[in-house]
Structure 1
Amino acid sequence: MTMKRQVFFLLIGAAFIILLISVSFFVYLKYKQRSLSKSNFKTLDQYIQQVPQEKLDKAITALKEELGKNPNFSEAHVALGMMYHKKDLLDDALTELKTALTINPDLGNVYKEMYLIYKKKGMEEEANQALDSYNKLKESK
């Protein structure tokens, strides 16, 4: 085998190893981001429950601005839906929560929030479906 050919195969092998390392690192970062967003969701719920009613409008405006820049930010849709729920804007809350699930169907706690909203609206069948979806997702993890 000629020297040029050996160098060529060496470069191909090095490029392949760099590609594998890059893909592995990307997968690791996605996993970390996903686990962080799940852990932050519980604190988000607690935080929103403590936000005074008069500050909700500012928070809603800020979230809408963020969603204008990044419409696929599922956690922002969740937060907006929860804030709408707190303000008793139930239809708007459901719209935001459904949008969040469309973007990221693994947000199981969203189903619990939807369950509460459907119960408030007297929509028993939808409430039970949301609860079933939550339980199925919880069991699959």
Structure 2
Amino acid sequence: MTMKRQLFFLFIGAAFILLLISVSSFVYLKYKHHSLSKSNFQTLDQFIQQVPQEKLDKAIAVLKEELRKNPNYSEAHVALGILYHKKELLDEALSELKTALTMKPDFINIYQEMYLIYKEKGMEEEASRALASYEKLKEDK
């Protein structure tokens, strides 16, 4: 084999190895990012409870980013609704909770939070409906 041919095969082999390393790194990083973003929300109640008032904007930004990537993540919509409620952004909170409700109508925490918000807004009829839905789901479980 000539020197040029050997160099050519060496170059092709090196390029193939680099390609394999790049693809495996990409797959690993994609998997790692996916598992990290999901693990952030495995204990959603803890996440919400641990957010201090001065960090609400940051937590909201994290949830919005998660929803940008996965708009059907109902638990993130619920968490965002609860955080909006903590910030006293009641209309935004209701909007997020209603979105989550369309995805998971049997998620009991949604009705609990909606009840509280409707009470704060003085919307007694809506509050009563949310409470009735909550109690019905609680009985069914």
Q: TM-score, normalised by structure 1?
A: 0.67
Q: Distance in 2 between matches of 1:49 and 1:119?
A: 21
Amino acid at match of 1:48: I
Paired residues of 2:44 and 2:75 also in contact (CA < 8 A): no
- Structure 1: which 5+ residue stretches go unaligned? 1-39
Question: Identity of counterpart residues, as a percentage?
Answer: 77
CA shift, 1:115, in A, is: 0.3
Q: Distance in 1 between matches of 2:115 and 2:45?
A: 15
Deviation digits for residues 74-129 of structure 1 (CA, Å, limit 9, x no counterpart) = 00000000000000000000000111110111101110110000000000000000
User: What residue number does 1:134 align with?
Assistant: 134
1:124 aligns with 2:141: no
- Structure 2: which 5+ residue stretches go unaligned? 1-41
CA shift, 1:46, in A, is: 5.0
Report the count of equivalent residues: 100
Q: Distance in 2 between matches of 1:106 and 1:46?
A: 21
1:101 aligns with 2:71: no
User: What residue number does 1:66 align with?
Assistant: 66
Larger Rg: 2
CA shift, 1:139, in A, is: 1.3
Paired residues of 2:81 and 2:97 also in contact (CA < 8 A): yes
**TM superposition outliers: structure 1 runs of 4+ over 4 Å:** none
Amino acid at match of 1:126: E
CA shift, 1:52, in A, is: 1.2
Amino acid at match of 2:77: H
SS at match of 2:71: coil
